[in-house]
Structure 1
Amino acid sequence: MRATVIHGERDIRVEDVPDPRLVTGPEAGGRDAIVRVVASCVCGSDLWPYRGIQPTTEPHRIGHEFVGVIEAIGDHVTTLKPGDFVIAPFSISDNTCVNCRNGFTGACLHGGFWGVGTEEEGYADGGQGEQVRVPLADGTLVAVPGGTPDPALIPGLLTLSDVMVTGHHAAVSAGVTSGSTVAVVGDGAVGLCAVIAAKRLGASRIVAMSRHEDRQKLALELGATDIVPERGEAGIAALKEMFDGVGPDCVLECVGTKESMDQALSSARPGGQVGFVGAPRGGPELPVGQMFVTNVGVRGGMAPVRAYLDELLPDALSGAIQPGKVFDAEVTLDNIAEAYRAMDERRAIKVLVRP
């Protein structure tokens, strides 16, 4: 089979790799599944190793967002069957350990992440390929009711493997509820999905902070009521002026840099809340003294995707939310290097990949 392999900085290749196989040893316990990938995509975090920010010490498969059809299951898989169309969250979980039961499946005591670990452990497969072996299939995968959906729904369902749910986690962490005023820092796929999430949760006013005309237009289409293109002190001043001189109730931080966190913390009103989901890079730190004075709280982190899917899947299927609109480009697997280039150069928001 073919799969995407990263060899080093800006070195993405499509190579022949061994077909995945069910593992029946004591570690796997017959609990894995083989999924034929129908669609995958490139994530902003995939750009870290691509840009060399996260070093690649040896070639390995990459990608952590995919949907597909189950081809085979292990003897101990009980909730899934061959032919099921499934969503694969970006983390592997049993959905039964104490952390999973508490709603934080990304911290599963027995799970892991795509592209991490050894083949024997079952976590080495990446999602940007033709097939993937999924460990802990019962706990990880979510079957879409009714089998393979209308092709028009597949991009939206693919976002439920990561970006839509990550945006939702930002909104939930910030306490967005009916009538909340919200600002979203970041206009990538996660930030745009955070706009969708804030609208879904009943926010009365949603400000997208974006400098790019195409992303501003999409943010407004997805539910933003206002656009603020400024950053830094000018952006903070603009938000305060819009909201009674004090700022919005909730700020959703969807980037992960020091500058974006500073923007978020300084923009929220006193007693407001920051929901952060931008994977940290560039040294963001919390200014505890400032937080003490303003009473601005911070909550969030890695999204527990599996824990939210039962809530979000029906809305994606019904069209109540349309997160698939964040995909503004599509390539075949053979051309995935172009997908990385387009996102690296900000020519694309998010690129969908078909085998």
Structure 2
Amino acid sequence: MRAAVFQGPGEITVEEVPKPEIESPTDAIVRVTHTAVCGSDLWFYRGESDRESGTAVGHEPMGIVEEVGDEVRSVEPGDRVFAPFVVSCGYCEFCRKGLHTSCVNGDGWGGDNGGGQGEYVRSPHADGTLVRVPDRHADDEETLESILPLTDVMGTGHHAAVSAGVGEGDTCIVIGDGAVGLCGVLAARRLGAERIVAMGHHESRLDIAEEFGATETVSARGEEAVERANELTYGGANHVVECVGAASSMDTAIGVCRPGGTVGYVGVPHGVTDEGLDLLSMFRDNVALEGGVAPVRAYADELLADVLQGTLDPSPIFTKTVDLDGVPEGYRAMDEREAIKVLVKPEH
């Protein structure tokens, strides 16, 4: 089979790799029909995080079940499924409490399971990982493109908003205009926020934020951005959604959070350890920090229900579509900010 492979910083190739096979009675083999390039993929693409050369990449697969192990009960060959970005067993202590990303039997995509940006993946713990799409929606392309973000960015944006405590009638500030930030706006609206201030640096993306429910936008940078957001919200918000992970964005989040408020953070931390976090400001103003890597599987069923009933549609985050051969171009486009998120259709 063919799959996208990381060769080194700035270099993704599409190679022939072994097709994954059933290795455990709890496995399933899925033929990938839709997947995506994620903003977090850019860390290794840019050489800013470690990844072994020659490894398959991608972690947002959707497709058709081709084969299942003898102990798989929740899906069968022919089912349309999608998979959260982390493999989870569904029955350990942490899965039972909804923290699937800490599953003691968990795994990632890549290596010998095929990677998410390829023709096939092997899903370990299929019953705990795969989410079945009802048959009546299984071939509706528009619906499928709305479901695909539930593999990662929609669930991640939702986790940020939930962690920030967003509820009915609240004012919320969302930091970041990438796919996760835009999904954070959608999530805040879904949870009932009355005012949503979206902060980012790209006017075209902030236009999408407004389409998703942002009531105001801030495109300034640095201290000017903090001042503008605080001016709009009369001193900041009790609920701040941080979707970038850079030290500067964390500083902004703390700067726009009202005393006693909560920052819900899901941006993969980058540079925060080296540059530090303004804990004194948080301490002084009783600002709470909640969040972390999103347990997307915990939210998948409720978000899927909303997509299927037509009340949630994150698909506008896909601004470029490629086939499998176009994956290297997809990485380049995202790296150079020419695309918000790239949809990959291996069979396109």
TM-score under structure 1 length normalisation: 0.94
- Cα distance in 2, alignment partners of residues 170 and 58 from structure 1: 32
On the 8 A contact 2:19/2:114 being kept in 1, the answer is no
Task: Confirm whether residue 237 of structure 1 aligns to residue 227 of structure 2.
Answer: yes
Cα offset, 1:106, TM superposition: 0.5
The structure 2 residue matched to 1:286, chosen from 277, 290, 310, is 277
Task: Confirm whether residue 144 of structure 1 aligns to residue 133 of structure 2.
Answer: yes
CA distances 1:222-252 after superposition (whole Å, capped 9, x unpaired): 11110111122111111211122x2112110
The structure 2 residue matched to 1:220, chosen from 210, 215, 218, is 210
Task: Confirm whether residue 321 of structure 1 aligns to residue 312 of structure 2.
Answer: yes
On the 8 A contact 1:7/1:56 being kept in 2, the answer is no
The structure 1 residue matched to 2:121, chosen from 123, 132, 135, is 132
Cα offset, 1:125, TM superposition: 2.5
1:119-268 equivalent positions in 2, closer than 5 A: 119=112, 124-146=113-135, 148-244=138-234, 246-268=235-257
CA distances 1:172-211 after superposition (whole Å, capped 9, x unpaired): 0000000110111100000000000000000000011122
* Amino acid in structure 1 at the alignment position of 2:50: P
On the 8 A contact 1:34/1:71 being kept in 2, the answer is yes
- Cα distance in 2, alignment partners of residues 135 and 125 from structure 1: 11
On the 8 A contact 1:8/1:55 being kept in 2, the answer is no
1:9-28 equivalent positions in 2, closer than 5 A: 9-23=9-23, 28=24
Identity of aligned residues (%): 52
Task: Confirm whether residue 90 of structure 1 aligns to residue 97 of structure 2.
Answer: no
* Stretch deviating more after TM superposition (141-150 or 304-313): 141-150
* Stretch deviating more after TM superposition (270-279 or 287-296): 287-296
On the 8 A contact 2:85/2:296 being kept in 1, the answer is yes
CA distances 1:64-111 after superposition (whole Å, capped 9, x unpaired): 001111001000101111111111000000111000111100000111
- Cα distance in 1, alignment partners of residues 239 and 213 from structure 2: 16
2:211 counterpart SS class? helix
On the 8 A contact 2:65/2:77 being kept in 1, the answer is yes
- Cα distance in 2, alignment partners of residues 262 and 211 from structure 1: 16
- Cα distance in 2, alignment partners of residues 42 and 142 from structure 1: 20
- Cα distance in 2, alignment partners of residues 269 and 233 from structure 1: 16
Alignment correspondent of 1:352: 343
On the 8 A contact 2:184/2:241 being kept in 1, the answer is yes
1:44 counterpart SS class? coil
- Cα distance in 1, alignment partners of residues 302 and 248 from structure 2: 32
On the 8 A contact 1:2/1:130 being kept in 2, the answer is yes
Cα offset, 1:293, TM superposition: 1.0
Segments of structure 2 that go 5 or more residues without pairing to the other structure are none
Alignment correspondent of 1:56: 51
**How many residues are paired up?**
343
* Amino acid in structure 2 at the alignment position of 1:297: A
Cα offset, 1:11, TM superposition: 1.2
* Amino acid in structure 1 at the alignment position of 2:164: A
Alignment correspondent of 1:105: 100
- Cα distance in 2, alignment partners of residues 33 and 321 from structure 1: 29
TM-score under structure 2 length normalisation: 0.96
1:343 counterpart SS class? helix
Cα offset, 1:112, TM superposition: 1.2
- Cα distance in 2, alignment partners of residues 339 and 58 from structure 1: 19
Cα offset, 1:136, TM superposition: 0.5
Moved over 6 A (4+): none
On the 8 A contact 1:231/1:263 being kept in 2, the answer is no
On the 8 A contact 1:9/1:56 being kept in 2, the answer is no
On the 8 A contact 2:82/2:131 being kept in 1, the answer is yes
